[in-house]
Amino acid sequence: MNPATLPTPAAPGFLSELNTSYAALSAQDILRDAIETRFAGRIGIVSSFGAESVILLHMIAAIDPTTPVIFLNTGKLFGETLRYRDRLQGLLGLTDVRAIGPHPNDLKQGDPKGTLWQRDTDGCCHIRKVLPQARAIAGFDALITGRKRFQTGARQEMDIIEQDSEGRYKVNPLANWQLDDLKNYIETHNLPRHPLVKDGYLSIGCMPCTARVEAGGDYRSGRWVGSDKDECGIHIDGDGI
- Could you tell me the residue ranges of all domains in the chain? 3-209
Cα 178 off chain centre by? 16
Alpha helices in the chain (DSSP H): 14-22, 27-33, 53-63, 79-92, 104-110, 121-125, 131-136, 179-188
Residue 201: per-residue pLDDT? 84
pLDDT in tens, the chain (241 residues): 444 455 556 565 889 999 999 999 999 999 999 999 999 999 999 998 988 899 999 999 999 999 999 999 999 999 999 999 999 999 999 999 999 999 999 999 999 999 999 999 899 999 999 999 999 999 999 999 988 887 766 677 789 999 988 889 999 999 999 889 999 999 999 999 999 998 888 888 899 888 888 766 665 666 666 666 555 545 444 332 3
Its pTM stands at: 0.84
The active-site residue out of 124, 125, 206, 232 is: 232
Active site annotation includes 206: no
Quick one: pLDDT at residue 164? 87
Dist CA 234 CA 91 (whole Å): 27
The domain 3-209 having CATH identifier 3.90.1150.10: the answer here is no
